[in-house]
Amino acid sequence: MGSGGHTGEMVRLLSTLDFRHFSPRLYLVARTDDMSAKRVQQLESSHISTAGLFQTVSISRSREVHQSWITTIVSFLQSTLECLRILFYYQPDLILCNGPGTCVPPCIIALLLRVLWIKRSTVIFIESICRVNTLSLTGKLMVCFLADRSIVQWPELHAKYPQTVFLGRLV
């Protein structure tokens, strides 16, 4: 889960899933992002099929808005190490992400765990509705390297990146 808009969009996407099929659930939120943790709590308590367990784990933010690039590298490495511990322990079958900075480290770890034959997680990236013509930086990383499937929400973007999946507007 990521800040503001990303979280809102993710909550909307998750609310359409049948949680009985996706259980247990682990939510990664940035440590300073109380809003997202709260939204997760709301989603879980209001969801129609609240079967199974969920937990919310906070990780360091890989990049705060306006943070300098040098300190970004440090905090990025820090959150990647945290993700290594979490994902090694949790071994998810499916990773869903929609593009906040927080979502890059876990996807890198998922790739690592796959290369090491420890766990093969399916990574699905859903680009934000905001992106009509261009992919975000995270989006480019996801589409080119990290995600098994990347979903975009506008035909213009799908035409530019034919390797993506277009399912219409999702939110």
Partner 1 sequence: MNMPVSQEKKKIFVTVGTTQFDELVTRVLHPDMLEIMEAQGYTHLIIQIGRGPEPQIPTSQRIQITVYHLKESISSDIKDASLVISHAGAGSCLEVLHAHKPLIVVVNQKLMGNHQLELAEKLHSERHVVMCYPETLKTTMTVFNTSSLENLPINNQMALSNYIEKLMGF
Binding site for partner 1 (CB under 8 A): 4-5, 8-9, 13, 16-18, 21, 35, 93-94, 96, 122, 124, 126, 128-134, 136, 149, 151, 154, 165, 167-171
- Residue closer to partner 1 by CB (options 82, 151) is 151
- Residue closer to partner 1 by CB (options 84, 124) is 124
For the CB of residue 61, give the shortest distance to partner 1 in the complex, in Å: 16
Of 90, 95, 103, the closest CA to residue 59 belongs to: 103
- Residue closer to partner 1 by CB (options 19, 76) is 19
For the CB of residue 159, give the shortest distance to partner 1 in the complex, in Å: 14
CB distance 99 to 136 below 8 Å: yes
Place of tokens 């809102």: 8
Q: Where are the alpha helices (DSSP H) in the chain?
A: 4-14, 34-46, 69-90, 104-115, 137-141, 155-160
Reduce the DSSP state of residue 156 to 3 states and report it: helix
**CA 143/CA 150 separation, integer angstroms:** 6
For the CB of residue 85, give the shortest distance to partner 1 in the complex, in Å: 25
- Residue closer to partner 1 by CB (options 15, 77) is 15
